[in-house]
Each structure stands twice: as structure tokens, then as C-alpha cells.
Amino acid sequence: MNDTELLARLAAIVGAAHVLTDAADTAACLTDWRGRYHGACRALVRPGSTAEVSALLALCDAENIPVVPQGGNTSTCGAATPPADGRALLLSLARLSRVREVDTANDTITVEAGLTLAAVQQVAAEAGRLFPLSLASEGSCQIGGNLSTNAGGLAVLRYGTMRELTLGLEVVLADGRVMDLLGGLRKDTSGLDLKQLFIGAEGQLGVITAATLRLFPRPSARATAWLGVADSQQAIAYLAALKARFGDRLTAFELIEEGCQNLLAKHGHTLPFIAPWALLIELSDSGDEALLTDAFVDWLAEQQMVDGVVAQSESERLALWRLREDISEVQKLEGASIKHDIGVPASRIPAFIAACGAELAASFPGCRVACFGHAGDGNLHYNVSHTRPDNARLFDDEAAVNEIVYRHVAACRGSIAAEHGVGQLKGQWLARYKDPVALEAMRALKRTLDPKGLMNPGKWLTAG
Ligand SMILES: Cc1cc2nc3c(=O)[nH]c(=O)nc-3n(C[C@H](O)[C@H](O)[C@H](O)COP(=O)(O)OP(=O)(O)OC[C@H]3O[C@@H](n4cnc5c(N)ncnc54)[C@H](O)[C@@H]3O)c2cc1C
């Protein structure tokens, strides 16, 4: 089918205003958030309903046209950037942004995939509930993207990742059929839990068009502290002690190494103090905030914690969180880094940091490691730069750096992709470190659900 015919068929499905081909309209969607990957597309299409997504995919299946679903385009691994050959249709989900149902008795919300995460949080709040997924990119990223990457973020310790937060999905398969797995059931043993196949699949098995998500009571009390510790061993000892004392009231436990704190200070942020390692800890609960804060302060005194501040107001609490959320931005201002989003058992974090850091320092004297992340659930962002004096040639060392980092991750029985996905960035490392039998099972699923290999090509999941 030539371009003129295709554009006419697309316009017949979504309306001409939602078929974009001008560079001015498509450029921002053809480059990833980090500016590392650049793609091309035959057209950017913006369907407004599940029926339109279904008709688009049926057309693409019939005409063998690849499809790249895109949400907020905040992927840090090039997952939503189409291949450079320009054959693919780029499918924006942004217009699928309706709230289909808020069920407060069942504590669920059913939303379309293109709603931003911040909007879902807002709708939940207006209903007196909490949707707890929270990421620095929440103003831009969409629920469909969160599902497709199994997003994690700041409160996984208490509430889990998107896998745990999702009760139902609506998915359009590669051939255009709609699979209705929506529903707010907490118990369901009627066959396989197929929704989990599409969560974390990075758009390679189908297009998610809607989801039913779990809601929680809104905490009425929060206690938030910024603490300084000497090393990651001490940090993990505090994690265990906090769990023992506060149970599931421990909501967030973030670890931030000194270099990241220095970068925040350099770029205009005011920190309570700079420590070898900082912890940002949040407790939340129903009940009285003063009581929770007092209990936290008492616990800190028992630990004989020397460096620490406890937020005394909502604005102080938000200011502490702003520090954590702006780390990615200030790193971006400093230039390129080789990024890793790894997961290890929390208990192995000190061993990983010590062994991996020592090998990197020996192999690349003077290199910088920016290490921070959701230590409470074992997820670290471990970003390496200045492997040589001229950081402009950093990526010449990318394979050698990854070789070291991922070997140490594997030694801890960890994951090379904890929450940001695999995308274009980590496919060869997944092939090396994922169990081969598991990989073959994934390929078999790809052959079944997307036999022509049209869904988000050029990423890590192939049929063969
Ligand atoms: C500053 C910053 C901070 C971040 N912090 C975190 C964090 O704390 N935790 C975390 O988990 N991630 C984080 N991320 C990464 C990113 O925001 C998440 O991966 C997010 O879930 C991606 O959502 P998106 O809508 O932008 O998806 P996109 O980037 O558009 O797409 C991501 C993948 O999902 C697929 N996809 C998108 N929508 C659909 C759909 N409807 N159906 C099928 N496939 C689809 C795409 O094809 C692609 O493979 C951060 C990113 C930035 C820039």
C-alpha cells in the first residue's frame, strides 16, 4: 500500500486531524527522553478509542506495517522510539484519556491507557483514595507506559510495582482483536492470569488501552526524614531496624550517595547537610501525624542518629522529596553517563556497591559513580561517567563498564532492568543474563501473540 492510500485509510479510522506526518508534529516523538535514540515513522497516529486502536492494528496486520505504541515518551532505554527505517506507524495513546469508573466500595479505578500518572493520582485523591505509584516523570508518563514497563518508583516498598497495583487490563492484540481482561477482582482462579503477560512487555505483545487499578486509603499522617549515614552497610542495617519497628508503615527508603548530593548543591538546591550517604525515609499511616512523627523521632534517638532532620511541615516534606526527584535532572545537566537501573536483594546492596565500585575504580581510575535509588526494594540507579578525562568519549567504554556492572549484578542474583525496562538499550545483556529457558518461553509467546513480529520491532523480544 503506498503512502497516499495508507494515509487515507488511517484518516478514515481516526480522522485526518489525528494522522500527522510533518516533521514539526512528529519530531519530539521520534527521539527518546535522553536524546540517545532517533527514529522515523510513516505517520504518527492518535486514536481516540479502543475501537480505533483495534481498526488500526487490524489494518497494520493486513498490510504488514510495524506499530510502535508510545505513551509519554519518558522511557530511559529507547523503548518507545521507532526504528530508523521509517516503516513503522507510531501510535500515540494520548487521546485515550477517559476515566471509565471510580468504584470506591471496591477501591478500584478503571482508566484509559493515555491518562497521565499524575491525572490518575488526582482523580483518586478527589475520590478520597490514594493511587500510590509515584515517579519523578509522573506529569508526563502515562498509565499505559507505566504498565508496559512495570513501573516502580518511590513507594514500591509498601505498595508494590504496577504488577501488584493492577487488577484488570484491556488489550488490543496485534491482529486487532480486543482482549477484555478488565475487572476489579482480588480473587480469580479462572485460568491463567494473562494480564501479567502484557505488564512489562514494552508494547511488544499488544497495545494496552485500559486498566483497572487498585486504590488505597489516603494516609492521614506522614513522617519524613533526611538522614546521614557512613556507608551503605549502615543504611541497610537501618532498613532492617525500621521494618522491625514500623512494619508496613515504612513507605519509602531512598539511598543517595555523596556525589549526587554534591551535584544537587552545585545546581542550586539547598540540602540539610551533605553526608557520605543520605537516606530519605518516609513513614505513613492513618491516625495522628504528631504521634507518628514523635514515634519516628524517638526511634532516631534510640539509634543515636547524629545527622538527621525530620520534616516539620508539608512544605519541608515536599522540599526533601524535591531533592530526590531532581537527581536525574541535575545529572543530565552534567553531561552523559552510562546508566544502570539494577535490582539486587536489599541485603546484598552493600556487597554490590563495594565490589562493583572497586572493580570500576581499578579499571577506570578517576571514574565517577552516581549511585542512588529505591534501596528499600533493592533497586539502584548506578550511573557511571568520566571513565576517561574526556567525558565526550564516555560511550566508547560503555560495553566494558556494563560488562563489570552486570557481572556484579548477576553475582548477587539481581536484575539488569529493575524498573525502567529493557528497550533498545539492554537487549544484549538480557540475552546474556536471563535464563535461556525463560527467554525461549518469551519468544514462544511472541510467536503466538504477534506471529508477524509487527509490535514494537527493534527491541528485545523477537519471535526467533
Ligand atoms: C526523570 C525521570 C524519572 C523516572 N523515574 C522512574 C521511576 O522512579 N520509576 C520507574 O519505574 N520509571 C521511571 N522513569 C522511567 C519512565 O518514566 C517509566 O518507564 C514510565 O513508566 C514510562 O511511561 P511512558 O508513558 O512515558 O512510556 P513510553 O516511554 O512512551 O513507553 C515505554 C514503553 O511502553 C510502551 N507503551 C507505552 N504505552 C503503551 C500502551 N498503551 N500499550 C502498550 N505499550 C505501551 C512503549 O512502546 C515502550 O516500549 C523515569 C523517567 C524519567 C525521565
Q: Whose CA is nearest to atom 8 of ligand 1?
A: 153
Q: Whose CA is nearest to atom 6 of ligand 1?
A: 135
Distance 217 CA to ligand 1 centre (A): 26
Distance 141 CA to ligand 1 centre (A): 6
Q: Mapping DSSP to helix (H, G, I), strand (E, B) and coil, where does residue 461 land?
A: coil
CA distance 330 to 402: 23
463, 445 contact by CB (below 8 A): no
31, 80 contact by CB (below 8 A): no
Range 328-333, long-range pairs (CB < 8 A, 24+ positions): 328/136, 328/381, 330/260, 330/263, 330/264, 330/266, 330/267, 330/269, 331/260, 331/263, 331/370, 331/383, 332/34, 333/267
pLDDT in tens, 407-456: 999 999 999 999 999 999 999 999 999 999 999 999 999 999 999 999 99
The CATH classification of domain 335-433, taken from the options 3.40.640.10, 3.40.50.2300, 3.40.50.720, 3.30.70.2740 = 3.30.70.2740
DSSP structure string for 38-91:
B---SEEE---SHHHHHHHHHHHHHHT--EEEESS---SSSTTPPPTTS-SEEE
**The pLDDT value given to residue 136:** 86
Q: Which residue out of 53, 98, 141, 326 has the highest number of ligand 1 atoms within 8 Å of its CB and is therefore the one to mutate?
A: 141
DSSP structure string for 90-104:
EEE-TT---EEEEET
- CATH code, residues 221-329: 3.30.70.2190
Provide the CB-side half-sphere exposure for 102 (13 A, CA): 17
Of 257, 198, 242, 246, residue with least CA distance to 376: 242
- CATH code, residues 99-217: 3.30.465.10
Q: Whose CA is nearest to atom 23 of ligand 1?
A: 145
Q: Which residue out of 75, 199, 209 has the highest number of ligand 1 atoms within 8 Å of its CB and is therefore the one to mutate?
A: 75
For residue 66, count CB atoms less than 10 angstroms from its CB and return exposed for 0-12, middle for 13-18, buried for 19 or more.
Answer: buried
- CATH code, residues 3-92: 3.30.43.10
Of 342, 337, 338, residue with least CA distance to 416: 342
The pocket around ligand 1, CB under 6 angstroms, is made up of 33, 68-76, 79-80, 93, 113, 135-137, 141-142, 144-146, 148-149, 151-153, 202-203, 207-208, 328, 419-421, 456
Exposure letters 87-126 (e unless 16+ CB within 10 A, then b): ebbbbbbbebbeeeebeeebbbbbbbbbbbbebbbebbee
**3-92 and 99-217 have identical folds:** no
Of 91, 81, 85, residue with least CA distance to 114: 91
Distance 78 CA to ligand 1 centre (A): 10
**Strand partners of residue 368:** 385
Tell me how crowded residue 150 is: count the other CB atoms within 10 A of its CB.
Answer: 22
Q: What is the end-to-end Cα distance of the chain in Å, rounded?
A: 27
- Structural domain boundaries in the chain: 3-92, 99-217, 221-329, 335-433
Q: Which residue out of 49, 149, 170 has the highest number of ligand 1 atoms within 8 Å of its CB and is therefore the one to mutate?
A: 149
117, 141 contact by CB (below 8 A): yes
Q: Which residue out of 135, 374, 425 has the highest number of ligand 1 atoms within 8 Å of its CB and is therefore the one to mutate?
A: 135
Q: Give, for 441, the enclosing helix (H) or strand (E).
A: helix 436-449
DSSP structure string for 309-341:
EE--SHHHHHHHHHHHHTHHHHHHHT---B--E
**The pLDDT value given to residue 230:** 95
Range 231-235, long-range pairs (CB < 8 A, 24+ positions): 231/276, 231/277, 231/350, 232/277, 232/349, 232/350, 232/353, 232/354, 232/375, 233/350, 234/277, 235/277, 235/279, 235/349, 235/350, 235/375
Distance 326 CA to ligand 1 centre (A): 17
CA distance 455 to 459: 10
Instruction: Report which ligand 1 atom has the smallest distance to the Cα of 32.
Output: 29
Cell representation of residue 340? 544502570
Distance 110 CA to ligand 1 centre (A): 19
Residue ranges of the chain whose pLDDT lies below 50: none
Distance 464 CA to ligand 1 centre (A): 26
CA distance 308 to 228: 6
**The pLDDT value given to residue 463:** 87
22: phi then psi, degrees, rounded to nearest 5: -65, 140
CA distance 395 to 307: 38
73, 28 contact by CB (below 8 A): yes
Exposure letters 232-271 (e unless 16+ CB within 10 A, then b): bebbbebbeebbebbeebbbbbbbbbebbbebbeeeeeeb
Cell representation of residue 237? 542495617
**The pLDDT value given to residue 390:** 87
Instruction: Report which ligand 1 atom has the smallest distance to the Cα of 33.
Output: 53
